[in-house]
Structure 1
Amino acid sequence: MVDSINKKDKKQAKPDISREKSAELYAKAKTYFPGGVNSPVRAFKSVYGTPLFIAKGDGSHIWDADGNEFIDFCCSWGPLILGHNNVKVREKVIEVMQHGMSFGAPTALENELAELILNNNQFIEKLRFVSSGTEAVMSAIRLARGYTKRDKILKFEGCYHGHSDSLLVKAGSGLVTFGETSSAGVPKSFADETIVVALNDVEALKEAFNEFKDQIAAVIIEPVPANNGLLLQTRDFLQALRDICTENGTLLIFDEVISGFRIGFEGAAGYYKIKPDILTYGKIIGGGLPVGCYGASAEIMDHISPVGSIYQAGTLSGNPVAMAAGIAQLSELLTKGFYDELHSKTEEFVATIQNYATKRNYKLKVFTIGSIFWFAFTDQEHITKADDIDPASMDKFKKMHRELINRGIYLGPSGYEVGFISSAHTKTDLETAKRAIFESLDLVFNEK
């Protein structure tokens, strides 16, 4: 089928879709919100056109305010592993909403979702629900500091852990550095408590622990770094990280806001068979609604108030609507063969695209793990560090994104963002998407 596509058609750019209503909404939004958006990446600064204002989602498809229909590979940035508007999730939410939407008090739903998670996750014994991934990570950091009675945190360049002050830092110059603030408004004193090293560099890690012996409370890492490209790490590196933390009395935090429940019910910890000390999860545990959680052993978690001295609270934590959505979604993920089928679908999709690009000598590598994929315009077989990504390659993604939008395929509006496949993506969806990707790649690589 691939080679039967007419060559003339492959190189013919499609006209831009209508964005008249989205443009009107964006113009109005700019009078209400900074940059017209409530999260920076939505502003389409890295791609062509104005942001698309989404009006509806169902299954693997979304529709914008102008009525344009897209096969969606953003999936609300990952948590919609069952697709949009899943019937079982929707019905559970409606059932619960009829009895009230917020109480600021305990409900049985919190117990039910916690039991569902803990009974099927060997790496945590207790957890605490919060309202976002950022809040989960922020709380995990405080827990690590309070538990170890140390102040410094070590993170890796290229991993994103939300926008809390101590983690919104980037590497300075040198093998091991104190972080430099990557946002105005973050005091230098906060960054000075954060050490930043390169991913996949055991020597830099050892040097950091030698230089700051007995000062590092926790090392935090995305075990599947997926916020700055898909920077897949080796199991050997993650095991070395585990061993170094153990030797130094430092807690290891796996930030699994993206990878958790995505690459398996036990996330990257289960995939690599490595036990961190603290785990953080995001919106996937609430069917895409605003929720997160952090968990650890009972011994560590019992340092959290009200039983311990480390304070953390949240008025909307354990919100019944989010708990209901999470119960429905995670129950589906536990269905026999769910992940095998999803991963097989993703592997075939990625392999076909990679084969198409390789046969034509296109400088493209599609990285994948579980149901996550990432288009990298490179000929490198492995990209494990942020510095391995050529910023100039983003121009090719920008052109590809435009062509895909015009062909009814929606990806996140940045070449550094990953894509996701859900159980709602049908064989027809994926065949349609592949054809659109082939045509878009032909245009990108054969542009005069």
Structure 2
Amino acid sequence: MTKSERLFERAVKRIPGGVNSPVRAYGAIGETPRFIDRAEGSHIYDVDGHEYIDYIDSWGPMILGHNRPEIREAVAKACEKGLSFGCATQIEVEMAEFICENIPHIEMIRMVNSGTEAVMSAIRVARGFTGRTKIIKFAGCYHGHSDAMLVSAGSGVMNSGVPDSAGVPKGCTEDTMTAIYNDLSSVETLLESNQGQVAAVIVEPVGANMGVVPPIPGFLEGLRKLCDGNGVLLIFDEVITGFRLAFGGAAEYFGVCPDLVTYGKIIGAGMPVGAYGGRKEIMELIAPVGKVYQAGTLSGNPIAMTAGLTQLKLLKEHHEIYTQLEERGRKLYEGIQEILKKYQAPCKVNWLGSLGSVFFTQEDVVNYESAKSSDTSAFAEYFKYMLSRGIHLAPSQFEAMFLSAAHGEEDLRRTLDAVESYVVRFAQTKRL
């Protein structure tokens, strides 16, 4: 029995499912989670000493790679002063100034402790600003586990208020309506049937929680137009895309300006943190200056702010990182696509910049319904094979792959070799 297996045996006795987040569970692919001991650059190492090329990147924030020396040293220095004060600090002011001075659509920002908290707070202030209650989200877009956002991703465009989790009262979600990603007509229908009642449309500008599903041309622009025409705020959930697709996130990448934006772990360089920001007239409604209450005892934690600001400054100073990530993403994901085409494997590859997914389906994946056509059992076989070849992927068909600046040519070559080896092996047995 491996150390990871022994740790999992211990974990399931004290932690629900043996993991502190469902995304870490390996149950869907019939494996035991690998318990990670350390990480460096593009590689992680488990407690059994196995080395993997990592395409999870702590679910996105390690855009510069793991254990970046400049960030590690800045954090160690900050720790010498103390870990937490529960009081205002200089570093949180510097973080807010840096983001607002460099992201044109953010005039004010509030730090929180997670992406979930950022979304929950952004929706609250949107309701406070508009005086309306209803929210439109999209099937397959994940916005954290607050009650109002846990609405059945499989619901039809006209269905609303169906909780997607036990313990969520229907009353908490009855004002949440679900539209179809990449389908403007579904949004228009909801707006027309709920005139004067919708506070905000919230969207992952690039779907990254149903696998990677980019917006079709005109979709985000159309949302902006529909929101403007109906007095509705547009919220970009950039927990995944923020500071990753471009320094200004998806808003910069696509040239579409949201009213509010939410960020997650990337602004903490992987430490627990989140933020929401936008126009000053909206953000000034937040307590203590406004009527919308939101608080967080540890928000703006000095260690997380130090780590995050160090990373953001590095990204700003080295803008070429984004060009490099685009090039590496193209090489990796186009390479996978060419291999699948060569062997006529019934799979699709979606990618945008450093984000990508392999879908085990013959359908073009443009929304949640088409993503659900994927053969999850085939993905499980693929995942296990890749893991055996030292390639660390998310243990779910519906999660993204993340490239970092630390991924080099050798990493990409090894990954493409493993993909081709898998496709040859399993195509011969007709399991693909």
TM tier, smaller: over 0.9
Amino acid at match of 1:277: D
Counterpart of 1:340 in structure 2 is: 323
Q: Distance in 1 between matches of 2:142 and 2:374?
A: 21
Pick the aligned partner of 1:234 from 209, 216, 234: 216
CA contact (8 A) 2:115 2:262 kept: yes
Amino acid at match of 1:262: R
Counterpart of 1:81 in structure 2 is: 63
Residue correspondence of structure 1 range 49-88 to structure 2 within 5 A: 49-88=31-70
Q: Distance in 1 between matches of 2:304 and 2:155?
A: 43
Q: Distance in 2 between matches of 1:265 and 1:336?
A: 8
DSSP 3-state at the match of 2:262:
strand
CA contact (8 A) 1:150 1:216 kept: yes
Residue 235 of structure 2 is aligned to residue 253 of structure 1: yes
Pick the aligned partner of 1:303 from 262, 281, 285: 285
1:53-85 per-position Cα deviation (integer Å, ceiling 9, x unaligned):
111111111111111110100001111001111
DSSP 3-state at the match of 2:111:
strand
Q: Distance in 2 between matches of 1:174 and 1:48?
A: 31
CA contact (8 A) 2:124 2:292 kept: yes
Residue 424 of structure 2 is aligned to residue 439 of structure 1: no
Counterpart of 1:356 in structure 2 is: 339
Q: Distance in 1 between matches of 2:336 and 2:176?
A: 40
Q: Distance in 2 between matches of 1:173 and 1:403?
A: 34
Shift of 1:119: 1.7
- Residue range with higher mean Cα deviation, 327-336 or 256-265: 327-336
1:71-120 per-position Cα deviation (integer Å, ceiling 9, x unaligned):
10000111100111110110110011111110111111112222221221
Counterpart of 1:313 in structure 2 is: 295
CA contact (8 A) 2:361 2:373 kept: no
Pick the aligned partner of 1:413 from 395, 399, 408: 395
1:217-248 per-position Cα deviation (integer Å, ceiling 9, x unaligned):
11111011101111211241111111111111
DSSP 3-state at the match of 2:419:
helix
1:129-184 per-position Cα deviation (integer Å, ceiling 9, x unaligned):
00000000000010001111111111111100000000000257544221311000
DSSP 3-state at the match of 1:30:
helix
Alpha-carbon distance change, 347 to 152 in structure 1, aligned in 2, over 3 angstroms = same
DSSP 3-state at the match of 1:241:
helix
Alpha-carbon distance change, 179 to 444 in structure 1, aligned in 2, over 3 angstroms = farther
- Residue range with higher mean Cα deviation, 82-91 or 234-243: 234-243
Amino acid at match of 1:348: K
Q: Distance in 2 between matches of 1:174 and 1:403?
A: 36
Pick the aligned partner of 2:311 from 309, 315, 329: 329
Q: Distance in 1 between matches of 2:155 and 2:296?
A: 38
Q: Distance in 2 between matches of 1:253 and 1:158?
A: 16
Q: Give the TM-score taking structure 2 as reference length.
A: 0.97
Q: Distance in 1 between matches of 2:145 and 2:153?
A: 16
CA contact (8 A) 2:129 2:285 kept: yes
DSSP 3-state at the match of 1:177:
coil
Residue correspondence of structure 1 range 93-242 to structure 2 within 5 A: 93-170=75-152, 174-242=156-224
CA contact (8 A) 2:210 2:371 kept: no
Amino acid at match of 1:339: Y
Q: Distance in 2 between matches of 1:159 and 1:205?
A: 14
- Residue range with higher mean Cα deviation, 432-441 or 122-131: 432-441
Counterpart of 2:251 in structure 1 is: 269
Gaps of 5+ in 1: 1-18
- Residue range with higher mean Cα deviation, 129-138 or 19-28: 19-28
Q: Distance in 1 between matches of 2:277 and 2:262?
A: 7
Q: Distance in 2 between matches of 1:278 and 1:416?
A: 26
Q: Distance in 1 between matches of 2:247 and 2:167?
A: 37
Counterpart of 1:374 in structure 2 is: 357
Residue correspondence of structure 1 range 381-400 to structure 2 within 5 A: 382-400=364-382
DSSP 3-state at the match of 2:221:
helix
Amino acid at match of 1:338: I
Percent identical pairs in the alignment equals 46
Shift of 1:416: 0.7
Gaps of 5+ in 2: none
Q: Distance in 2 between matches of 1:57 and 1:47?
A: 24
Shift of 1:282: 0.4
Shift of 1:189: 0.8
Amino acid at match of 1:377: F
Q: Distance in 1 between matches of 2:151 and 2:18?
A: 25
DSSP 3-state at the match of 1:78:
coil
The number of residue pairs the alignment matches comes to 429
CA contact (8 A) 2:343 2:427 kept: no
Shift of 1:441: 2.1
Residue 246 of structure 2 is aligned to residue 283 of structure 1: no
- Residue range with higher mean Cα deviation, 130-139 or 231-240: 231-240
Q: Distance in 2 between matches of 1:371 and 1:51?
A: 25
Q: Which has the higher contact order (CA 8 A, sep 6+)?
A: 1
Shift of 1:443: 2.5
